[in-house]
């Protein structure tokens, strides 16, 4: 790749927010989370700790906001001044939304976070210098900074707990930003297996750790380019379009009965995670 070639065909090399005329080619990883099925049980979060070598920081550091839960359950109340939370809570699994037009990417001074060809917002640990601009610019608070060198911190991975660490995932050192990767280590293996068999990854062939553990099956994950993928069918049925910042639900009355939405869409981040609204019965 010569510089001339790079400059002349810059738009081919630069990963940008894809539009109708520049669709994703082979893969576009996306997720949908049904909030009516999510019970807020936290299994996804613990599974993520297990899969992705997340450090347990302890009470004091947790109090300082240093916790590392790549997927966390946010819990909201909608009491409207009533005496009791008598319609229960609203649970929302929050993770990196893998935005197509990610606010974190544009502010990184060293290009440590950028978009991959299959639509992931990647984080290159050994390029990261820890400016934390990305963290400040993320509207979802989905990025976590290593304020300490956890592998050498007492009681984070004491012998023999370090033997549980997943060798497929880097153990991050001090000064590095990290976040949900959609379990990119699993995606890489699945893509490699598929490539060696001369095909694309099939729907259901690869699961993220949070999806695999979820007791109610609230999380679907797959390739939005693949027309047979469940996640793509869900997005289509809910009329949520990856490349739009306003969906049918927001503009047409007939679409008001749809449940699909993306969080803070008005910021034009074009997230890759669609949520399905929680339901409540009106007869009781």
Partner 1 sequence: MIENSFNRRGFLKVLGWGGATVALSGCGNTSVEDGKEFVTSYVQTADYIIPSIGTYFNSTCAQCNAGCGIMGRVREGRVLKLEGNPKSPINNGKMCGLGQAGVQAHYNPDRIREPLLRTGDKGEAITWEKALALINEKVGGVKAENVAFLTGGVSGHVKALLKNYLDALGSGHHYVYEAVAPSIMRAANKKAYGVEMPRLHLDKAKVIVSFGADFLGAWISPVHFSQQYARFRKADKGERGVLVQVESKMTLTGANADRWLAIRPGTEGILALGLINALAAAGVSVPGDVVGAVKEYTVDRVSKDTGVSAEHIGKLAALLKERSPSLIIAGSAVEGYAHGSQNATAIALLNQVLGNVGKTVEAPSSVPFPQMAPTAGNRFALQALNDNMAQDKVKVLFSYGANPVFTAPASMKLKENLKKVPFKVVFAHYMDETAVEADLVLPLNSALEDWATAMPEYIAEGAQLSIQQPLMEKLYPGTLGMGDILLALLKQRRPEEYKGYEDFYSYLRSAMVSIKGALGGANEDDDTFWDTALSRGVVKLVGAPVNISSNASAKGLVVPAPFVEDSAYPLHLIPAVSASMRDGRNANEPWLQESPDPLTTIVWDSWVEMHPKTAAKLGIVEGDIVEVASRSGAIKAQVYVFTGIHPDVISMPLGYGHEAMGRYAKGVGVNAFKILDPIFDKETGELAMHETRVKVSKAGQRVVIVKDEGPAGGNQMGRKIAVRMSSSKVNLSEEV
Range in contact with partner 1 (rule: CB under 8 A) among 13-21, 40-48, 97-105, 115-123: 40-48
Asked if 58 is part of the footprint of partner 1 (rule: CB under 8 A), the reply reads yes
Count of Cβ atoms closer than 10 Å to residue 205 Cβ: 16
Q: Quickly tell me which residue has 């503009």 as its tokens.
A: 251
Query: Cα 237 vs. chain centroid, distance in angstroms?
Result: 21
Query: Which member of 16, 23, 25, 36 binds partner 1 (CB under 8 A)?
Result: 36
The residue (of 241 and 277) whose beta carbon lies closer to partner 1 is 277
Query: Which member of 26, 43, 132, 255 binds partner 1 (CB under 8 A)?
Result: 43
Residues 164, 159: Cα–Cα separation, whole Å: 10
The residue (of 18 and 55) whose beta carbon lies closer to partner 1 is 55
Interface of this chain with partner 1, residues 173 to 232, rule: CB under 8 A: 209, 212-218, 230
Asked if 10 is part of the footprint of partner 1 (rule: CB under 8 A), the reply reads no
Residue 226 CB, nearest approach to partner 1 (Å): 14
Interface of this chain with partner 1, residues 114 to 143, rule: CB under 8 A: none
Q: How far is CA 257 from CA 149, 215, 239, 261, 272, in A?
A: 49, 26, 11, 12, 22
Residue 45 CB, nearest approach to partner 1 (Å): 6
Residue 165 CB, nearest approach to partner 1 (Å): 8
Asked if 255 is part of the footprint of partner 1 (rule: CB under 8 A), the reply reads no
Residue 109 CB, nearest approach to partner 1 (Å): 27
Residues 216, 79: Cα–Cα separation, whole Å: 26
12 sits in the region (left: phi over 0; alpha: psi -120 to 50; else beta) called alpha
Residue 192 CB, nearest approach to partner 1 (Å): 12
Q: Dump the DSSP string for 198-242.
A: TSPPPTTS---HHHHH-TT--EEEEETT-TT-HHHHHHHHTT--T
Q: What are phi and psi of 96, to 5 degrees?
A: -55, 130
Residue 199 CB, nearest approach to partner 1 (Å): 20
Count of Cβ atoms closer than 10 Å to residue 165 Cβ: 15
Residue 194 has which token pair?
A: 């598929």
Number of residues that bind partner 1 (CB under 8 A): 81
Interface of this chain with partner 1, residues 66 to 95, rule: CB under 8 A: 67, 69, 72-79, 82-92
């Amino acid at each position: 790749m010569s510089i001339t070639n790079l400059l002349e065909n810059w738009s081919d090399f630069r990963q940008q927010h894809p539009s109708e005329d520049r669709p994703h080619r082979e893969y576009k990883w996306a997720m949908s989370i049904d909030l009516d099925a999510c019970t807020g049980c936290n299994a996804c979060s613990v599974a993520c700790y297990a899969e992705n070598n997340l450090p347990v920081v302890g009470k004091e550091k947790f109090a300082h906001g240093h916790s590392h839960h790549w997927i966390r359950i946010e819990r909201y109340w909608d009491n409207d001044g009533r005496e009791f939370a008598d319609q229960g809570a609203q649970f929302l699994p929050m993770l990196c939304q893998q935005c197509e037009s990610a606010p974190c990417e544009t502010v990184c001074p060293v290009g440590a976070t950028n978009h991959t060809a299959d639509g992931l917002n990647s984080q290159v640990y050994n390029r990261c210098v820890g400016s934390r601009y990305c963290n400040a610019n993320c509207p979802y608070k989905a990025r976590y900074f290593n304020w300490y060198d956890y592998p050498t911190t007492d009681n984070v991975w004491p012998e023999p707990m370090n033997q549980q660490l997943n060798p497929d995932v880097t153990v991050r050192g001090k000064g590095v930003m990290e976040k949900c990767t959609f379990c990119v280590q699993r995606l890489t293996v699945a893509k490699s297996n598929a490539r060696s068999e001369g095909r694309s990854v099939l729907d259901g062939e690869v699961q993220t750790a949070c999806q695999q553990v979820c007791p109610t099956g609230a999380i679907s994950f797959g390739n939005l380019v693949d027309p047979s993928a469940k996640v793509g069918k869900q997005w289509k049925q809910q009329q949520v379009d990856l490349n739009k910042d306003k969906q049918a639900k927001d503009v047409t009355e007939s679409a008001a009965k749809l449940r699909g939405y993306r969080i803070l869409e008005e910021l034009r981040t074009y997230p890759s995670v669609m949520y399905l609204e929680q339901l409540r019965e009106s007869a009781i």
